[in-house]
Structure 1
Amino acid sequence: MTRGYVLVTDDFITSFAEWLEDQANLKNKDINVYEVGAGNGELSGKLIEKLNEKEIKNVNIIATDNKDYEGSDYPKQEDHEYTDLVKDLGAVETIWHATKTVDYLIMGWPPLNGYDFNALIAMMHKHINGEIILIGGDDFSSKRNLASEEFYLHFKECENQSFDGDVRANYQVNELEDYPIIGKPYLERCKESGCRCKFTKSKFKQDYVDEVSAERLLDLMI
């Protein structure tokens, strides 16, 4: 889930909301933004507030988190005023069972237990045209290991001047030099024949996607 180190300033939220509106206008359609591992919901909650404040109607935000801390060394976050908007569902299940196209997937400081890589693979199988926004950094290092090594190996940052100028430039970087990047799944660097990036869609679903009942999905409205 999102660690409490993502700095949610008003400048960042304003620029992010306006950038999302621009993308919706460029695509000439409503866009769907899913934040997985949303933690206490502060990032998505403030984005929704800003979208409402600016009367931006063509951007939909959905936040999920299954509160599973297994394999993670991150402390549990305290509840927040936005916690109730976070739907109880895991990252991979959110992507796999989403009833809308995932245009943008947000992950902020994902725990280093592999769920970020599984989310990337799920995006590849289910929403190949969607883009991933990681609030972390652009590589895996001892100083800046803000996502898993597997994730970075299979991720390619996109050249996006508007994102860099509007979103990244307005993010307040902390001492670990985190910042938002945008990109897509990229498999060319992986040489491991048994890596799950080479699994078929059905094999990946069988091994890594939990079943979710139709009734629960209807209740969650994702």
Structure 2
Amino acid sequence: MTSSPPSSPAARHGSVLDLAPVVPVAVVDDAADAVPLARALVAGGLPAIEVTLRTPAAPDAIRAIAQEVPDAVVGAGTVLGPAQVARCRAAGARFLVSPGWTDALLAAMDASGLPYLPGVSTATEVVSLLERGVREMKFFPAEAAGGTAYLRSLAGPLPGARFCPTGGIGPGNAAEYLALPNVGCVGGTWMLPPDAVADRDWTRIEALARAASGLVRAA
């Protein structure tokens, strides 16, 4: 991997991709569930947690995890605009993830001082971000956009880009993604099945997290 120039966002903010090989993507409907859910994930070996902004409870969930689960590194996902960047930062998010990007969103995420992963699904988007000094990206929707074959094909011409693939990834294919040289981590929901969350079965979630944490990055 080529090194980032001193002025790049990656150099200033640190790496999201090196937090953990697997990042759970949590959809939290009830903010009261956020802390026990996060504790179960951390106990299972998955400290980096992306809480998506798909529900009204998400900002309160981020705030609760940031305040009450010190071993968790909580981030905000599905960030779509500058206003959301500001709210997530105020809530205590420690990294930001978006499914795509615009110049305005990119500028807001960079100005936040937080590590961030803008979403890409094409080589043109990757090149555009590399031109702006951004080297770490979310590849989304991973399976629908070409999966491991597509990412492998990007590694040769675009060696400076590293990815967190998300979308369609589970226990059956996560290891294949992590074996790629340009993949730093993967994101997924398989350790958070909706019925386990609804039943508040934190023991089951911890066990699934522990199995996921056994996956490792490529050497």
TM-score (normalizing by structure 2) = 0.33
TM-score (norm 1): 0.33
